[in-house]
Structures are given as C-alpha cells and as structure tokens.
Structure 1
C-alpha cells in the first residue's frame, strides 16, 4: 500500500541544505523544478491496496533510479553515496541527519515489480513537455519529424560491450593503484561469445575480491559493484536472443539492417515531444498522424510540421489540410501520388527508393 503524498521531512538540521548545496546545483534545481507527485497516479495499480504495511515511497525510489542512471552507480553504491552526499539527500527529500536508508535490493524489486508494464518513456516525455510549456521554455508551434534506424540486440551484441566496458574500467582503476596486479589478472579476452566474456568477468571479480588491500579504495568498490550488477542483474535485459519482433529494414537500395525504427518528433527548441517504435520495414510517413496527436495530447499547439519526402504521402497531406496544419515536405510523386490501394499495404521506402511489401521484402525494380 502506498501513501497519497510524500512525507514532509522535519529536522533540526534542515537549514544545512541552504548552506551546503548551492542554488545552481543540478539536483537542487531538478527537485525544485519538477513535481514528482505524478508517480503515485502512474504506479498505483502496481501496488496492493490490501496490505496494511506501508510501502517505501515510490517517489523516493524513482528518484534513486534517476541518481543511479545519471551518475552511473550500482544499486549498492547509490544507496551508500546517499549516506554522505547532501545533494543526494536533498533530492530524495531526506533529512540531513538521516542514516536509516533503504536496502539496495529494494531498488531491484522496484524496477522489476513496480515499473512492470509501465510505458516509462512516454510518461517521462509527456511530463517533460508539460513542464517545458509551463516554464515558458517550449513556445514554438512548429514540430520536426524524422526516423532513425535501431538495430536489434540480436546483432548489436550490447551485452558483451557493456560487460567488457565495465571490466576495462575496473582494471584501469586498479592499475593506477597497483600496476603489478596485471600479472594476477587473466589475459584480455578476444572472444565475442557471451558465455566466455561472463566467465572472464567473474574471474576478474574473484581476483579483486580476494585482494583485501584493494577494497579500501572507494572507486575500486564502485566499479566492482557496477560490474557485478551487470553480471547478476542487467544481463536479464541484455542477454542475446533471437528477436522475434525485429524486421529487416532498408537504409538504401543495397544496404539493410535488422531491427526497428524510432520515429521522433521534436520542437524547434530541440525538446522531444513524442516517439513511436516500429519494426524496421515500416516507412516513416505512416507514423506522422500518431506523432502529431500524441504531441497535442501533451499540450503542444501544432501549426507546422517539417519533414523529408517520406512524409509527403497523400494521407498526410489530407490530414494536414483537414487539421489546418502546414506540412513542409518535399513532394515525391512515388509517395504523394502512388496508385496502390490501401489494402495492398505496400509502403514506399524513400531511403531505398523502392516499394516494400508487408513482409519487408523490397521490390526488384521500379517503373513509372
């Protein structure tokens, strides 16, 4: 069960924050600028209403995750740093003399259980837009649309890269303290197999943990915890597997990629107002209406849309005219005047200059 509001902190040492934390401190400005109370409404359905015991404040836990991501800390280290970092305590709405902090495992449970089935990206984008409008930062009525290719994890090998990057960071920190440790570590791995990289990282962790004199260095502990977390926790999301949802998309007539497309719309102030993720074979122009409408739901007044030739298809031109929106896009006769019927579901890929069938296969030739 969660309470309806964040608890007000009462402490005799509350005045220390005004002395220690500057007005231009990033965390202080973020905490004073953003009202995080929307977290209660968004996560209410993920909490039990029958439990008598109150749950840990979801706003505080959500802020912990912001600190964790911003400063690249493990669960254990972000909690540990909070004990001594006054800016962290201020951001988390804790008293300056608070010493009873959460257990690091609480953050793991919060990520896995409370944020489950929550469209976090859409939520954060919408709240960012609302704040930008309220503060007078976002005032333009012109939006810019585009799409970018995103490779699937299946052939991006991001899990290996994350592990090796964190292992390298740990070794580098240790070498600055004791260069003789090179002889105790295994040779740098050249294989790209996930299983072998995991074993390499585990061997590295075992050597460091069996060397007590290294444990006194805070930076070594942080990098060690960060690597351990990648092995034990992050790999649930980074493990390579066949991605059944990914599709083949085309960058040009001769080059392709396996993955997705990220369709983004942003204001002239370079504030992203919405995004849509589709499979790789989808064309850019089909998502325009959705991007506009979701931006309007966030409070944007749209007078103009700027995009490339992919957005000049007939349906978008008609939609813009009906809604009195100026669509600035170079006309491509293959897109705007195509003769294919809607039920065919063939789409024109402006990057490749060819039509693509629903299964993602590109035409072998074209003719006017």
Structure 2
C-alpha cells in the first residue's frame, strides 16, 4: 500500500483517503496512514476483530491465503479450530507449520524448541489489538465511504472481462507487465475521453 501511495504522489496526485479490502488493514498500513494523516477505509479481518494475537511482530496474517507467515517467510501449512470446552478459555485457531523448515530455520532460536515434533502458532478469538481502526470502521463516516468501494471492483471487472486482464496472454513477468500496462492504459484513456466529453 505504501508503495502505491508514494508512486501516486510522485505523479502529483494528492491523496487524503485510501479505500480497499481487508488486505489493506494490516498493522503497518494502519500505522503508515496515521503517521501521514491519511484516512484508511479498510475493514479489519474478522480474525483480528474477534481475537488478540501474541507475537504479532513475528507472525503476520496473509489475508489471501488465510494463513499466518513467520518472520522467515514460511507460511503455515494448515490450521485447526479449537473450541476448548470445559477449560474456561476462549476458542482459538491453531496454525501448524512445516516442521522440517523450522528445524533448519535461522530464526528457530526462541521460536522452535529443539526436538519438538510440531510448530504451531495460536490465535485466541476474543478481542482486538486494532482498537482505533475497529472503532472507526463502526462510524457513519467510514460506512458511507466504504459504500464507494464498488467503483474499484467495477474497474477491476472492466480490466478483466473487457480488456483481457484475467488471463496472461504471454509467458514471463515482463510479458505480464506489458499486458497489464496496455490494459490499464486503454481503460485510463477511455476514462479521460469520457471526462473530456462531459466538459464539452
């Protein structure tokens, strides 16, 4: 998100509000927008609003995969829900990591116990460490701005279904970059022509 904002500002664009899906509500994004006095319209993921996380600086949640990633960049291989009935404890989600990777990981000290047969990371589902954003997302102002997000999805749909941005037409990253740049250029050009026509 930070890179997208700074690239846009480098072109001369003035930004005061960012609207996006839950992928934009990560801790670093919230901190960045606060530091730069920007408004972030992005709902927190339910795993965050309904639970606290320990070791948050070491494990980050990947919204698209629905899994946690450790500081070495290894993603959990599976997860399981533990209701913990009769223990007077809140339910939690336990994420399990590939033990073979943990055994040779350069960050294993203090994270992986030598000889352990498993490596897990648990999230207790009870409260949130993103209190400010949670309070904000329940305000009328947030909800009104969030209603405009459909425009972004509509533009994505146009790129994919009208301009072939849903399937790569050539192999390699460079080919995909050219395809993306061409599709986005065409859509932007259509928008510019429409705006010019409306001014006449």
Q: TM-score range by the shorter chain?
A: 0.3 to 0.5
Give the alignment's TM-score, normalised by structure 1. 0.20
